[in-house]
Amino acid sequence: MEEFSANHAGSVAFLGGGSLGAPCLQELARRGWIDVVVSQPDRPAGRGRVNTPTAISSLALESGLNLIRTDNANDLEVRAQCARAKVIVVISFGQKLSPELLAGRVAINLHPSDLPKWRGAAPIQRAMMAGEERITACAMEVAPRMDAGAIFAKEVFEVGAMETAGELHDRIARESVDMMLHTIERALQGALVGEAQIESNATRAMKLSKSEAFVDFAQSARMVRCRIHGLAPWPGCDAEIAGEPIRLLRVKEVSMPSVDLGGQTPKSCAAPGDIVRGGLVLCGEGAIEIVQVQPVGGRAMAWSDFCRGRSIEMGQRITSSPRKVQE
């Protein structure tokens, strides 16, 4: 990681909650650039519903940073705490910021999509579920309309064939730090230039729902893989085999010529969702090989481990369908 100017001590107010911003905050803190950190209040989490700080709050506490936990970053007291900062960095924060808070300074946001595509809450997941093979992270200006600010910098990430949305999220968080630091330093030097988004190209990345935790095996193997990986780790992809519910975590795309059907033709063997052999499942086009699953109430495990003690045979069907759930 490159070295940056040491003359920016206490120049940045960092507003964040989720782990997407943690590597950036860690590096800003190491350089002494942080004046104040603002995050959401602790929330009940886990089976015990114990009050738990956000990822950003935890890191701020560990680093000895000035931390404010609030439901309203636009509160007069919070604004007073942020008044000394020349730049506001906003990553995975989830609160709309007032003109009064933003006045007189540059506010920079990290958004993991090729804006104006996939504006909204779930850009990585929606892009992966749509079959996109590259995800672009943008350093952008915070604007009154959601994710509509000028673009300061971009970085492209290739999606790995076995990579889940959660894993890509964490990789973008780590590997976009240099881009964010360059952007912040240019802002502190008064040399930041942005490019306006083209509004006619805007698309939405709506928040994910538990009701979307399914996959249609009648789609191509590629799109089945993209959906399963895009839904991981949350809300996941639920399925059922031999009456037992499981969660599909990771799969591998397989072309039909490489699939051994035991002397049968695809037509005589099956319909989409049928198990050909082992963990191979036919799709509308091609097949997937199940690599990793999670039984209900159990831990994530390899498909081969799941099959031990269970009778998983050729011709059995794995099903997955929308379920009515209470959000």
Cβ contacts of 237 within 8 Å, gap of 6 or more: 213, 214, 215, 227, 228, 231, 247, 248, 249, 320
pLDDT in the model for residue 276: 87
pLDDT in the model for residue 313: 83
* R_g (Cα) of the chain, nearest Å: 23
What is the pTM (predicted TM-score) of this model? Answer: 0.92
Q: Could you tell me the domains of the chain? A: 12-205 (3.40.50.170), 210-319 (3.10.25.10)
**Does residue 25 contact residue 14 with C-beta atoms inside 8 Å?**
yes
Cβ contacts of 58 within 8 Å, gap of 6 or more: none
Identify any residues that bridge with 38 across adjacent strands, giving them in sequence order: 15, 68
Which has the closest alpha carbon to 229: 307, 113, 124? 124
pLDDT in the model for residue 44: 87
pLDDT in the model for residue 1: 47
**Could you give the angle at the alpha carbon of 276 between the alpha carbons of 272 and 280, nearest 5°?**
85
Q: Chunk the chain into consecutive blocks of 10 residues (it has 327) and report each block's average pLDDT, rounded to whole numbers.
A: 66 97 98 97 84 96 97 96 96 95 95 97 98 97 95 98 98 98 96 97 96 97 98 97 94 76 56 90 95 95 93 90 72
Which has the closest alpha carbon to 117: 209, 200, 222, 175? 200
Q: Which amino acid is at 79?
A: R
What backbone phi and psi angles, to 5 degrees, belong to 128? -65, -45
pLDDT in the model for residue 179: 98
Which has the closest alpha carbon to 32: 152, 192, 190, 188? 188
Pairing of strands 34-39, 12-16: parallel
Question: If DSSP states are collapsed to H, E and C, what string results for the chain?
Answer: CCCCCCCCCCCEEEEECCHHHHHHHHHHHHCCCEEEEEECCCEEECCCCEEECCHHHHHHHHCCCCEEECCCCCCHHHHHHHCCCCEEEEECCCCCCCHHHHCCCEEEEEECCCCCCCEECCHHHHHHHCCCCEEEEEEEECCCCCCCCCEEEEEEEECCCCCCHHHHHHHHHHHCHHHHHHHHHHHHCCCCCCECCCHHHCCEECCCCHHHCCCCCCCEHHHHHHHHHHCCCCCCEEEEECCEEEEEEEEEEECHHHCCCCCCCHHHHCCCCEEEECCEEECCECEEEEEEEEECCCCCEEHHHHHCCCCCCCCCEEECCCCCCCC
Buried b / exposed e along 52-75 (16+ C-beta atoms within 10 A): ebbbbbbbbeeeebebbbeeebee
pLDDT in the model for residue 46: 74
pLDDT in the model for residue 312: 86
Tell me how far apart the alpha carbons of residues 108 and 31 are, in angstroms, rounded to a whole number. 18
